[in-house]
Amino acid sequence: QVQLVESGGGVVQPGRSLRLSCAASGFTFSTYGMHWVRQAPGKGLEWVAVIWYDGNNKYYADSVKGRFTISRANSRNTLYLQMNSLRAEDTAVYYCARGAIRYFDYWGQGTLVTVSS
């Protein structure tokens, strides 16, 4: 069965960096696009970034462009999100999700990132 397990969340000061990971299993990771989606406390879902199956194309939400970098290691079945210059408004649960062309068919349980001094 498809499993996505995020890790790497925690408390970080504004302006610092953090890297999230998402370990995938139960499917052929290298043939799917992968996404990050976040949810601020008590708020709705916000799409963050996508990386195509081969890593050759990446797209970002305007709110994170230039600060966040999505990447993947198909040999390790792992998705990453490098988050730099973090702000208080980046505080959220970050989900990785498998992409099925234009929607998200499987989601992980999420990892909480708190940006606070």
User: Does 104 participate in binding other proteins (rule CB under 8 A)?
Assistant: yes
Q: Which two tokens stand for residue 50?
A: 């996508």
Three-class DSSP category at 97: strand
Tell me: does residue 94 bind other proteins (CB under 8 A): no
For other proteins, the binding residue among 35, 81, 86, 115 (CB under 8 A) is: 35
Distances (CA, A) of 27 to 2, 23, 40: 6, 11, 29
Measured between alpha carbons, how far is 27 from 20 in angstroms, rounded to an integer? 21
Considering beta carbons, is residue 50 or 83 the nearer one to other proteins? 50
Binding mask 39-78 for other proteins (x = CB under 8 A): -----xxxx--x--------xxxx----------------
Using CB under 8 A as the binding rule, whether residue 37 contacts other proteins is answered as yes
CA distance 91 to 4: 21
* Residues engaged in binding other proteins (CB under 8 A): 35, 37, 44-47, 50, 59-62, 95, 100-110
